[in-house]
């Protein structure tokens, strides 16, 4: 049974493994730890656990945005372990984040996903999100 909770320092290794799995690469663990430290202090990180195994995670950022005249929640990252796909873990994490965002007084929730992640697009549509914006990126 999967339980959703707030990530703690001890959850780094499991999250690190999921990030590497998602991006199909092995990131420098020390560099990733620094990023994790920043994220855990400045964002909300929710994890899904099955016993002691992290099966998914979601990073939520909340900012004030003038063009929404209020707070907006943004799902910065959402990942579910390949071995646990299609078990509603992503939906549970997303619903948990939406509930949390509403309690924080957010007026909107935004999610950005890579154009190549077609399965993710279907997942977000099934969960009531609409593709209403374009996002432009430039690597620096």
CATH 3.40.630.30 fits 2-126, yes or no: yes
Task: Supply the Cα-derived Rg of the chain in whole angstroms.
Answer: 15
Domain boundaries of the chain, sorted by first residue: 2-126
Q: How confident is the model at residue 4 (pLDDT cuts 50, 70, 90)?
A: very high
Contact of 93 with 56, CB cutoff 8 Å: yes
- Of 105, 111, 118, the residue nearest 132 (C-alpha): 111
Give the residue-averaged pLDDT of 71-94.
Answer: 95
Please classify residue 112 by burial: count the beta carbons closer than 10 Å to its beta carbon, then call 0-12 exposed, 13-18 middle and 19+ buried: exposed
Cβ count near 61 (within 10 Å): 15
pLDDT tens for each residue of 18-68: 999 999 999 999 999 999 999 999 999 999 999 989 999 999 999 999 999
pLDDT tens for each residue of 95-139: 999 999 999 999 999 998 888 888 888 888 998 888 888 778 888
Residue 37 confidence (pLDDT):
96
Element (H, E) at 45: strand 44-50
Q: Under 8 Å CB-to-CB from 31, ≥6 apart: which residues? A: none
Partner residues linked to 103 by β-bridges: none
Distance from CA of residue 15 to its chain's centroid? 11
Cβ count near 4 (within 10 Å): 18
Element (H, E) at 113: none
Q: Under 8 Å CB-to-CB from 24, ≥6 apart: which residues? A: none
């Amino acid at each position: 049974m999967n339980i959703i909770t707030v990530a703690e320092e001890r959850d780094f290794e499991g999250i690190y493994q999921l990030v590497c799995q998602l991006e199909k690469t092995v990131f420098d663990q020390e560099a990733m730890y620094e990023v994790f430290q920043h994220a855990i202090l400045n964002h909300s990180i929710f994890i899904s656990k099955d016993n002691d195994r992290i099966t998914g995670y979601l990073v939520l950022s909340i900012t004030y945005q003038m063009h929404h005249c209020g707070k907006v929640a943004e799902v910065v990252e959402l990942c579910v372990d390949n071995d646990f796909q299609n078990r509603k873990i992503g939906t549970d994490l997303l619903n948990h984040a939406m509930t949390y965002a509403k309690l924080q007084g957010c007026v909107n929730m935004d999610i950005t996903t890579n154009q190549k992640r077609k399965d993710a697009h279907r997942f977000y549509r099934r969960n009531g999100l609409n593709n209403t914006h374009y996002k432009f990126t430039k690597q620096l």
